[in-house]
Amino acid sequence: MKPEDKLLGRIIVDPKIMVGKPIVKGTRIPVEQILQLLGHGLTNEQILKDHPHLTKDDIQAALLYASKITSKEEIYPITAE
């Protein structure tokens, strides 16, 4: 198993948990929440202090998951007529 696959295995999608949002396995913390915290300037250390059940690998997995999702995103430019 590649290290990338191991990290991505930390993120699960289960319709019975958080309405199917991608979460960190074993928690109810959505990937979205981790990204928002990072986007608001919190460091990994601050996030881990506030969420002691998370690990640095969980945060890295959330970032990797988000990058994989957005890399498949298709963009359709809207042009004015």
12 alpha carbon, distance to own chain's centre: 10
Which range of residues forms the domain containing residue 34? Answer: 3-70
**Would residue 44 be called left, alpha or beta, if left means φ above 0 and alpha means ψ between -120 and 50 degrees?**
alpha
Domain count, the chain: 1
CA distance 8 to 65: 6
Query: pLDDT category, 16, cuts 50, 70, 90?
Result: very high
The CATH code of the domain that includes 29 is 1.10.10.10
Q: Is residue 31 part of a domain?
A: yes
Residue type (1 letter), 27: T
Q: Is residue 48 part of a domain?
A: yes
Q: Is residue 17 part of a domain?
A: yes
CA distance 62 to 51: 14
Q: The whole model's pTM is what? A: 0.85
Query: pLDDT category, 29, cuts 50, 70, 90?
Result: very high
pLDDT tens, residue by residue, 30-80: 999 999 999 999 999 999 999 999 999 999 999 999 999 988 877 788 887
Q: Is residue 76 part of a domain?
A: no
Burial class (CB in 10 A: 0-12, 13-18, 19+), 35: middle
